[in-house]
Structure 1
């Protein structure tokens, strides 16, 4: 016990004798480490501050680029011919905006009223040492006029014409493209909407319904105003187009020609096998009497189109057989009736001449009424395929179904949006009355 205590005392004595030396060394080491950590922390803080500022400048330069686009878009909506000129002096070079600037590059789109606009936003960053660097971002947008062909499916009213009864989207309905209605939307079940859905009112979902909005939906948007006439097409037809009066049959030929039949002396357009009109417009004027009245402003159309064409009628358009494109990448057709666009059911002898299955490649517009099967409540048919766009005042029926989903009459629907309609359209296609310009495509370069 004593031996142990003696050793402990010696060890303690040694530590006490050296205490001053070891305490100083430890303090110096701690201070050195603290200094290093402080410098590292300061450097890290400076880097974080620098990165934060850089991020802010990057975001702000994007904001400035978009401000340039918004300014140009505003001017286009003040003057619909603004885009037809080169960039005006106020927009040339770098335009100062807040604490940065933007520069615009404008390219007109030949097939549609509008422009492709590139806007570069930049900020010159002055660093603490006096040096500078430039932060910039660039975006590219397509600006075009609002159009009825921007939608696979457009209606003014989602009701049965004459009764006001709501028409429902139900389980089994698949809308393969964008949809807009100025009316409300009624849903029962699980319809599928593959494009964005917009309504100028609201969406009503029956209890238990589960619609699939794959691109989302928006309510209470501005309505698109439908004109009540297509008379501007008549004007185009009288100037470098084809004008006819009374019942007219038009067959599209894959060679690029048309076979036109009309026997009215008031017509000025050619008949027989003819070339396409130079401005791409045909108009059929006339009355709105019983179906087979020879003075009706009706067109009967079918065939395979090679070219770009719009057909307008004072009364109805009857589609008698397939209407197809010879080249789906370049051909485009507009069918615009002031009243109805029908799939023809019976000939003048009462025979059922409607095809079992039919395909229509076109942008269809029934200005005051609807698109549909002429006698949708009679006879069970096959499938109606539409590849294009459909606009109508009222939603028109093409068939009837039992609540079980079994078809009772008419056609089943197979509608596909022609996405080219976002960037091109049939010649002189009718526009909304409130047809301002809008951004339809946005990309960062």
Structure 2
């Protein structure tokens, strides 16, 4: 019995041990299962978080790309009401949102900074932000841009360029002074003497890619037509603040009217392209005055900048000495218009720095800067040349045979004398010279654009020595034209860039055909 009792006791101990093993195994399995469940759950959570993070950055990039699309359509989109409405508020996209912040360019930072933050709906605490700096090469970013520098035209003594300069052609240098970046796409040609002064971070000129100039300004006509501001044939415009006085010929009738600036800010002069600047059918614009507002004017042919109001047309008999017959020798013959001391086109509510010192050294930032304050902005875009009017004037009158477009208007007769036989004042037909109507100093505020020609002084190699062309803005031209002969005729150049044109442009001003927006820097920023 004892033996069997022992055996029975041993059997009971084995069964208890087995139960413990089973329980331990069960616990291990449960721990493993719980671990697996936790791992799977964590992986799902991580996967979900990663997916939301990826979605957030995708939404941020979508916001940037959307804004960049608008910039490609409207280069100054950040100035437009639609552009400002896109900034500072959540915009729904897919299953989430993006929100934009935009920092426009200025004279120091010449690029647009776009900050775009994206997040998944319901995950406002899980946002990602990118910051991208983009820059668009524009003609108006320069004080001077050209396709060609012409034939044997040099930058020389007395020439100062206050702003970025670029030419697609050869840069011919003697001893000018540059106060900003200088770039060229052709060759760098040193003259004699050669001692240029470069006030820029590069300490000289740099080779760069070309900026292709559009062949025509025809796109402006479409915008002008929307408001009924397309004028046919030779047109004179005097800028009178926020209005224009316009004079043109329609069906052999002179029409003179005053209008407000067009809602689209665009005027277009349509007509023939020929060399007869006075012909009533030619697409020439004659313009001067003072602008209050934003305006771009395109001309199918040439633009002539005048010293005084070009809508004041004159008849031969009231302008030229001896033109009116007199019965009394004591009556003095009419006196021709005198050359004004200055004239051209200026802004009414925009001020610039000192024209004698347009670039000022900023010791804190260690750069040369230019000053401009105001909202006025003008663009003048000719399909051919933009010229300072030198000789002659617009005529108003008939010669008895219908409209007379006698091109002797470019000459004045001097030495009027009293004809005792006929008892009247007469002019000498043997003593004639070109009538000079150009001012001593010509002021031009705005962007001047010549798609197939250039900017220059009409008949630059004749007449007396003038003063200065004082330009605040931009000159873009197919081929550089002369404005005078050194120490002989014409003008000296005082060209200063309007620094506002780094970020605010004349309405619909033409842009390079081969360059869009380029990314200067892309990065993700934290802490948002």
> Could you say whether these structures have the same fold, taking a TM-score greater than 0.5 normalized by the shorter chain as the test?
yes
**C-alpha distance in 2 between matches for 1:91 and 1:169:** 59
For 2:345 and 2:207, locate their aligned partners in 1 and report how far apart those are by CA, in whole Å.
36
Q: How does 1:203-282 map to 2 (within 5 A)?
A: 203-206=188-191, 209-215=194-200, 216=202, 217=204, 219-254=206-241, 256-265=242-251, 271-282=256-267
Output the CA distance in 2 between the equivalents of 1:361 and 1:430.
17
Give 1:413-424 correspondences, 5 Å limit: 413-424=493-504
Residues 208/287 of structure 1: CA separation in 2 closer, same or farther (3 Å cut): closer
What does residue 278 of structure 2 align with? 292
CA RMSD, aligned part only? 3.8
Q: Which residue of 2 aligns with 1:100?
A: none
Provide the secondary structure at the position in 2 that maps to 1:168.
coil
Partner of 2:474: 389
Change (3 A) 1:105 1:74: closer
- The aligned counterpart of 1:339 is 384
Match of 1:179 among 145, 149, 165: 165
Aligned to 1:312: 298
Describe the superposition over 1:316-373 as per-residue Cα deviations: whole angstroms up to 9, x where unpaired. Answer: 0000122010011111110000000000011134221111111011100011011010
- For residues 80-119 of structure 1, the aligned pairs below 5 Å read 80=72, 105-107=100-102, 116-118=113-115
| 110 and 186 in structure 1: CA distance in 2 versus 1, 3 angstrom threshold | closer
Judge conservation of contact 2:389–2:457 (CA < 8 Å) in 1.
Answer: yes
CA gap of 1:145–1:397, structure 2 versus 1, over 3 A, is: same
1:186–1:327 CA distance, 2 compared to 1 (3 A): same
Bigger CA radius of gyration: 2
Matches within 5 A, 1:373-388: 373-378=457-462, 379-388=464-473
Structure 2 CA distance for partners of 1:81 and 1:236, relative to 1, 3 Å: closer
Distance in 2 (alpha carbons) for counterparts of 1:440 and 1:263: 51
Residues matched between the structures, number? 336
With the length of structure 2 as denominator, give the TM-score of the two structures.
0.57
Alignment counterpart, residue 323 of structure 1, candidates 345, 351, 375:
345
Question: Which residue is equivalent to 1:124?
Answer: none
Alignment partners' CA distance in 1, 2:442 and 2:467: 8
The CA deviation at 1:88 is 9.0
Residue 109 (structure 1) shift: 6.3
Partner of 1:432: 512
Give per-residue Cα distances to partners, 1:287-322, cap 9 Å, x unaligned. 122111110000110111111111100000000122
Any idea what the Cα deviations from partners look like across 1:386-427, whole Å, max 9, x if unmatched? 1110000111110001xxxxx200011111110011111111
- Equivalent of residue 442 in structure 2, options 335, 339, 358: 358
SS at match of 1:244: strand
Give the TM-score normalised by structure 1: 0.67
Structure 1 CA distance for aligned equivalents of residues 92 and 193 of structure 2: 56
Change (3 A) 1:232 1:271: farther
Contact 2:113 2:131 in 1 (8 A): no
What residue ranges of structure 2 are gaps of 5+ in the alignment? 1-56, 118-127, 308-343, 351-373, 393-408, 412-434
Whether contact under 8 Å (2:105, 2:502) holds in the other structure is no
Q: Which residue of 1 aligns with 2:37?
A: none
Structure 1 residue 118: deviation in Å? 3.0
